[in-house]
Amino acid sequence: MRLIGFSTGALARNDFRRALRMLTERRVRAVELSALRQEELIPLVEQLDSLDLRGFEYKAFHAPSLMEPEFEAVAIGVLEQVALREWPIIVHPDAMHRPSEWARFGELLCIENMDKRKPIGQTVADLADIFGSLPRALLCFDIGHARQVDPTMSEAAAILQRYSARLRQLHVSEVNSQSKHDPLSFESVLAFRRVAHLVPENIPVILESRVEEDGIYDEIENACKALSVEDVLALTGD
Amino acid sequence: MLQLGTMTGAERTIASVSELLQLAPLPTARDAASKTREELDELLSAGIRKYTSEDTSLVVFGSLARGEWTSGSDLDWTYLIDGQANSDHLLIAQKIQKLLKDHKEKFRPPGQTGTFGSMAFSHDIIHQIGGQNDTNRNTTQRILLLLESAPIGRSNQAHERIIRGVISRYLEEDTHLLTADSRQYRIPRFLLNDIVRFWRTMAVDFASKQRDRAGEGWGLRNAKLRMSRKLIFVSGLLVCFGCNLDTSLQKKISTGEGDIKLNLVNHIREQVRLTPLEILADAVERYRISNTVAQELFGAYAEFLRVLVDKKSREALENLRASDSRTDPTFQHVTDISKAFEHALDHIFFENSQLAPLTRKYGVF
């Protein structure tokens, strides 16, 4: 059984306490604390000690997806406190202005592959350049981004095969043409099943689908189907 | 004049136009359509969770979209695609087919032409208007998308984008959207001509199907041509004429409110959001059609639906061949109904002071 949880930002934007409550009440065992906007970073980190995260087996932290160059040093300093907890820190490649500064996080640093909007980080070749300058960093594979870039999932398969040793975590959602994270459609489920066998069972899955509170279980169940190798075989035999 | 069960004569006063839409069995058919669309969504959601996406919509046509669902209605559907090419779309369309086949008692499969019951792509629908590649199927999908379609479930983005794309495409081909004095919108001729062409295509196809199917199903097809298919054409004409006659739309020209073309796209979009019967009811009010004519019009249509609701009558029509049409009592009843319907339409389109000049100018030559 895969470890599947949610990003706090997907469930309750700007209100991580509410998102944590939703997940705790439903005994979800994985969470990614999200500070996608620059201004959210410091308040979230300052409150980490006061959060009850005992119910979560897996915890990750999403750094801001965009940062002003002058804020980068501040962000890195603040994220040191996250690193002390040994949580993976998810970073978008284009958010780093001086990648070498981020190298200090070593294997806790997880580079996320990007969607169509972003100038870098979409393909195997793009990621090769990034990992070249951050050799210890791991990969947070966003399967929705990969599908948006290449719906045939060829690039997704190539990334998963090339960086299997770096794979630390999965982001799952349906990424629409405006690059927003939607709940999984059957189309996404079919696409994700094509590469599900390349994602080991022990890789934690974080859902970024924007769902209402009563849709949490359904989305988790749908993600399980999308990443189920058995369903892939069943589909082939349909 | 035909005496219909629900009609109490020309003296009856209709309190409001909405009362026309309350003539039995119109509300029942409307409620049945609404409930059936919900049931269809439930069935598909249970079998294929989130079966549509930002790029795809499941769209129904015919009586289910018009709000005229009866127990004998076919389910005409299309898996409508407006997005990146994806080989999984066929797989999803096939899954939908299979699910519906498993419930064919409730959802009778579409007809034999192959127009419905599979995928359709936005590019053909929007780009291939006229010319060699505008097939009968493509024309039918396009006009029915405009005049009688409804998305199933909550995801309707693809359906909405394609409809707006089609309307916009029609208007792009009209050299001038406004009259020479810039005081009124002109009739959108490209759209009008395509609607007229579609009506004539349906009529020609009626004869073609009679030959292809050796006369099988003649009675029901004939009845539909006289009534429901004609209603689609009428609603299309009214939408086109309304572009020139709608006062609130014309007012936007003088006040400079919004973009000229966009205002017209929005106006047409809002009009075709209504069902054909609602468009007709709106026209009754807008063009001050007399109660007598309005009652004859809606009474005839309600009576037509009553014939379809009645299992015995529907079966009689389904089994009727052309050679028996002059002696068959059910078909004679349908003939009377359709004559009343046409009589009322003649009055509206040839005698109403606002519509008659447009019918004369654009209707034939």
Q: What domains are there in chain A, each with its CATH number?
A: 4-236 (3.20.20.150)
Instruction: Name chain A contacts of B50, Cβ cutoff 8 Å.
Output: 183-186, 222
Alpha helix (H) residue ranges in B48-119: 62-66, 88-102
- Residue B237 burial (CB count, 10 A): 25
- How far, in Å, CA of A128 to CA of A93, rounded? 12
Say what the pLDDT of residue A155 is: 94
pLDDT tens per residue, range A4-43: 999 999 999 889 999 999 999 999 999 999 999 999 999 9
| B37 close to B152: Cβ distance less than 8 angstroms | yes
Task: Please say if the pLDDT value at position B4 is more than 60.
Answer: no
Instruction: Name chain B contacts of A174, Cβ cutoff 8 Å.
Output: 53-54
Q: Does B55 touch chain A (CB under 8 A)?
A: yes
- How far, in Å, CA of B365 to CA of A69, rounded? 68
**Residue among A5, A89, A86, A16 nearest A46 (CA):** A16
**Residue B3's pLDDT band (cuts 50, 70, 90):** very low
Query: DSSP states of B13-50 as a string?
Result: PPS-HHHHTTSTTHHHHHHHHHHHHHHHHHHHHHHSTT
Kindly provide the b/e burial profile for residues A61-77, where b requires at least 16 CB atoms within 10 angstroms of the residue's own CB.
bbbbbebeeebbeebbe
- Residue B365 burial (CB count, 10 A): 5
Please give the single-letter amino acid code of residue B340.
A
Determine, for residues A222 and B50 on separate chains, whether the beta-carbon distance falls below 8 Å: yes
- How far, in Å, CA of A207 to CA of A142, rounded? 10
| Residue of chain A minimizing CA distance to B81 | A187
Instruction: Name chain B contacts of A222, Cβ cutoff 8 Å.
Output: 49-50
Determine, for residues B50 and A185 on separate chains, whether the beta-carbon distance falls below 8 Å: yes
Q: Which of B19-23, B119-123, B204-208 has the lowest average pLDDT? A: B204-208
Q: Does A94 touch chain B (CB under 8 A)?
A: no
Say what the pLDDT of residue A234 is: 45
Given 3-state DSSP classes, what are the helix, strand and coil percentages for chain B, each rounded to the nearest 5? 60, 5, 30
**Tokens standing for A52?**
């009850």
Distances (CA, A) of B113 to B123, B140, B164: 21, 11, 27
Task: Please say if the pLDDT value at position A68 is more than 80.
Answer: yes
Q: What is the DSSP letter of A4?
A: E
**Residue A232's pLDDT band (cuts 50, 70, 90):** low
**Residue among A184, A188, A178 nearest A211 (CA):** A184
| Residue of chain B minimizing CA distance to A153 | B86
Determine, for residues B55 and A174 on separate chains, whether the beta-carbon distance falls below 8 Å: no
By percentage, how much of chain A surpasses pLDDT 70? 96
Instruction: Name chain A contacts of B92, Cβ cutoff 8 Å.
Output: 186-187, 190
Say what the pLDDT of residue B238 is: 98
Q: Shortest Cα distance from A189 to chain B (angstroms)?
A: 9
- Coil, helix or strand at residue B335: helix
Q: What are phi and psi of B58, to 5 degrees?
A: -95, 120
Mean pLDDT (whole number) for A79-83:
98
In chain B, DSSP finds a helix count (H) and a strand count (E) of 17, 4
pLDDT tens per residue, range B182-222: 999 999 999 999 999 999 999 999 988 888 777 788 999 99
So what's the ipTM on this one?
A: 0.71
By percentage, how much of chain B surpasses pLDDT 70? 96
| B170 close to B190: Cβ distance less than 8 angstroms | yes
pLDDT tens per residue, range B273-302: 999 999 999 999 999 999 999 999 999 999
Window 35-74 of A, Cβ < 8 Å to B: none
Q: Does B158 touch chain A (CB under 8 A)?
A: no
**Tokens standing for A194?**
């094509």
| B243 close to B188: Cβ distance less than 8 angstroms | yes
- Coil, helix or strand at residue A161: helix
Q: Does B8 touch chain A (CB under 8 A)?
A: no
Three-class secondary structure assignment of B134-150 = CCHHHHHHHHHHHHCCE
- The pTM for the full model equals 0.84
pLDDT tens per residue, range B328-354: 999 999 999 999 999 999 999 999 999
Q: Does B46 touch chain A (CB under 8 A)?
A: no
Phi-psi region of B343 (alpha: psi -120 to 50; beta: other; left: phi over 0): alpha
Q: Does B89 touch chain A (CB under 8 A)?
A: yes
Average pLDDT over chain B reads 92
Kindly provide the b/e burial profile for residues B151-160, where b requires at least 16 CB atoms within 10 angstroms of the residue's own CB.
bbbebbbbbe
Q: What are phi and psi of B311, to 5 degrees?
A: -60, -40
- How far, in Å, CA of A194 to CA of B365, rounded? 58
- How far, in Å, CA of B4 to CA of B119, rounded? 41
Q: At what angle do helices B228-245 and B218-226 cross, to 10 degrees?
A: 20
**Tokens standing for A102?**
């981020």
Q: Does B323 touch chain A (CB under 8 A)?
A: no
DSSP-assigned beta bridge partners for residue B151: B59
Q: What is the DSSP letter of B7?
A: -
Q: In this structure, what is the dihedral angle of CA atoms A110, A111, A117, A118, given to the nearest 10 degrees?
A: 140
pLDDT tens per residue, range A93-146: 999 999 999 999 999 999 999 998 888 999 999 999 999 999 999 999 999 999
- How far, in Å, CA of A233 to CA of B14, rounded? 63
Kindly provide the b/e burial profile for residues A12-24, where b requires at least 16 CB atoms within 10 angstroms of the residue's own CB.
beeebeebbebbe
By percentage, how much of chain A surpasses pLDDT 90? 89
| Residue of chain B minimizing CA distance to A225 | B49
Q: Shortest Cα distance from B91 to chain A (angstroms)?
A: 9
Determine, for residues B86 and A151 on separate chains, whether the beta-carbon distance falls below 8 Å: yes
Q: What is the DSSP letter of A37?
A: S
Instruction: Name chain B contacts of A218, Cβ cutoff 8 Å.
Output: 49
Given 3-state DSSP classes, what are the helix, strand and coil percentages for chain A, each rounded to the nearest 5? 50, 15, 35
**Residue B178's pLDDT band (cuts 50, 70, 90):** very high
Task: Please say if the pLDDT value at position B13 is more than 80.
Answer: no
Please give the single-letter amino acid code of residue B331.
F
* A:B CB pairs within 8 Å: 46
Output Rg (C-alpha) for chain B, integer angstroms. Answer: 21
**Residue among B150, B121, B155, B158 nearest B48 (CA):** B155
Task: Please say if the pLDDT value at position A206 is more than 50.
Answer: yes
The whole-angstrom distance between residue A219's C-alpha and the CA centroid of its chain comes to 15
